[in-house]
């Protein structure tokens, strides 16, 4: 499979597993997980893929409103995919209503972590974790141990870090 299948009419879908596509799935397009009238939250497993590009509205929904928030409750990505995603795209996972979305990082080997806000050579860094936490998105999996070490620095993290290009 080289693209995410259309799930627009699958309103009751709860688990969407697009993992391990043998190197064929490379891009997550705009509105990739859009559903017309979802009746429940969606857990997406995109682990074990070498995702190279996320379009600017990958996790947006066309009918998003206060009663129909992002409807994505969990997202699993591999390390190589997280390294290729702009953090402002992950912000699209932010729930409008109460709740927290979990973005889980899966890797087979230990990865470099950093408490330094500006260390973007590490996928697990406090700058990214605190930015996501501000938007009620928890970065779990291999990054979980760093959660306790990171201190939110409000002066460094603002809601205005992302351009309108990434807004749903």
pLDDT tens-digit map of 35-75: 988 888 899 999 888 899 999 999 998 876 545 455 788 88
Mean residue pLDDT across the chain: 78
pTM confidence score: 0.80
pLDDT tens digits for range 124-153: 777 777 888 888 888 777 777 666 677 654
Q: Which residue has the higher pLDDT, 6 or 102?
A: 6
What's the CA angle centered on 113, arms 146 and 55, to 5 degrees? Answer: 95
Q: State the pLDDT confidence band at 109, using cuts at 50, 70 and 90.
A: very low
Nearest to 17 by CA among 46, 49, 55, 50: 46
């Amino acid at each position: 499979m080289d693209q995410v299948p259309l799930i627009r009419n699958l309103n009751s879908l709860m688990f969407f597993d697009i993992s391990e596509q043998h190197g064929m799935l490379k891009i997550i397009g705009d509105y990739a997980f859009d559903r017309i009238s979802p009746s429940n939250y969606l857990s997406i497993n995109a682990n074990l893929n070498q995702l190279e590009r996320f379009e600017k509205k990958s996790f947006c929904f066309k009918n998003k409103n206060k009663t129909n928030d992002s409807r994505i409750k969990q997202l699993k990505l591999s390390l190589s995919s997280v390294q290729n995603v702009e953090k402002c795209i992950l912000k699209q996972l932010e729930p409008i209503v109460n709740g927290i979305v979990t973005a889980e990082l899966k890797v087979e080997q230990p990865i470099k972590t950093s408490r330094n806000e500006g260390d973007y050579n590490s996928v697990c860094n406090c700058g990214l974790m605190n930015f996501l936490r501000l938007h009620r998105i928890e970065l779990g999996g291999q990054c979980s141990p760093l959660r306790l070490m990171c201190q939110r620095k409000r002066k460094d993290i603002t809601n205005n870090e992302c351009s309108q290009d990434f807004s749903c």
